[in-house]
């Protein structure tokens, strides 16, 4: 009885549909004509329908056969890709791709990526900076393995695990401006939708510049003055040496950092190991 993963049966169906002859299909596939007939019969029994009209010297697809044709081509191609992918894993290891938003790359990933590489030598790791919407879409279609985000993805297929939190503080470089001018030189860093909404409600500052990168915001502060919410872990040395000051108006803001991945991922064990490593480092 045919199994759903028997690529030879679908290859035989495609070859008969192409050459419209059982004997020629058998020659092209290097099997007997009896084997071709048996495979087509098994396929018809599996789907409980006739796939070919067998007139003498005039083999042609039935309506059901024509409908199956596209599916058979997809099945064969997917099984070939799966075989190639598994062979690659056996020889080269497992590929795991991680994407983080720009602000989390600056705050978390860039300082920990080397430790991750050396700790996970059996994996082929890839890392990139991306936007929330792209990470959301790619996690759903499984073209991305892990997303690091400040806003969880609200989809049944996606698991969101909190791996750490960011303490955000309002810091300023008052030079060359005085403290009273800082409100007019506010740099808005995108720390997720919840943060943006809170800022719209609680802050009277009109940003002169908006960015998704904490590093860009920090460089602008140091060069041009102004104020911005930045992670304490990033600005602590600059506060200590007086390059930046902590504004008294700073709110106590903590943002959860989420590690998001598809619940049906085939390498769940490897993903969990990466998540634990992130937690240990943070």
Q: Residue 237: which pLDDT band, with cuts at 50, 70 and 90?
A: very high
For residues 125 and 181, the model is more confident at 125
pLDDT tens digits for 54-88? 887 788 999 999 999 988 888 888 777 776 666 55
In this prediction, residues 239-246 reach a mean pLDDT of 90
Buried b (16+ CB within 10 A) or exposed e, 208-240: eeebbbbbbbbebbeeebbbbbbbeebbeebee
Residue 219: is its pLDDT beyond 90? yes
Which structure tokens are listed for 77? 């191609």
pTM for the model stands at 0.63
In this prediction, residues 192-218 reach a mean pLDDT of 79
Q: Which of 141, 139, 157 has its CA nearest to residue 149?
A: 139
Residue 158: is its pLDDT beyond 90? yes
Question: For the chain, what is the mean pLDDT?
Answer: 84
pLDDT tens digits for 122-136? 778 888 999 999 999
Domains and CATH numbers, the chain: 7-91 (1.10.10.10), 93-162+256-281 (3.40.190.10), 165-255 (3.40.190.290)
């Amino acid at each position: 009885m045919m199994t759903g993963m028997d690529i030879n049966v679908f290859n035989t169906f495609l070859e008969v549909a192409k050459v419209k002859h059982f004997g020629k299909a058998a020659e092209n596939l290097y099997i007997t004509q009896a084997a071709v007939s048996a495979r087509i019969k098994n396929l018809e029994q599996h789907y409980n329908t006739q796939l070919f009209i067998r007139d003498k010297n005039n083999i042609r697809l039935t309506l059901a056969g024509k409908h199956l044709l596209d599916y058979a081509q997809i099945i064969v191609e997917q099984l070939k890709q799966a075989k190639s992918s598994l062979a690659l894993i056996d020889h080269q290891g497992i590929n795991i791709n991680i994407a983080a938003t720009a602000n989390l790359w600056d705050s978390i990933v860039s300082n920990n990526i080397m430790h991750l590489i050396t700790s996970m030598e059996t994996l082929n790791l890839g890392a990139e900076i991306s936007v929330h919407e792209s990470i959301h879409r790619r996690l759903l279609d499984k073209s991305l393995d892990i997303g690091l985000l400040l806003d969880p993805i609200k989809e049944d297929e996606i698991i969101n695990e909190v791996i750490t939190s960011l303490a955000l503080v309002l810091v300023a470089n008052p030079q060359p401006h005085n403290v009273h001018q800082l409100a007019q030189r506010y740099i808005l860093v995108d720390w997720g939708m919840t943060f943006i909404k809170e800022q719209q409600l609680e802050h009277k500052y009109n940003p002169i510049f908006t960015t998704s990168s904490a590093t860009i915001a920090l460089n602008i502060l140091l060069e041009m003055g102004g104020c911005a919410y930045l992670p304490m872990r990033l600005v602590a040395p600059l506060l200590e040496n007086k390059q930046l000051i902590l504004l008294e108006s700073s709110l106590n803001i903590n943002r959860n950092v989420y590690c998001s991945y598809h619940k049906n991922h085939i390498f769940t064990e490897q993903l969990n190991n990466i998540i634990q490593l992130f937690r240990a480092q943070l």
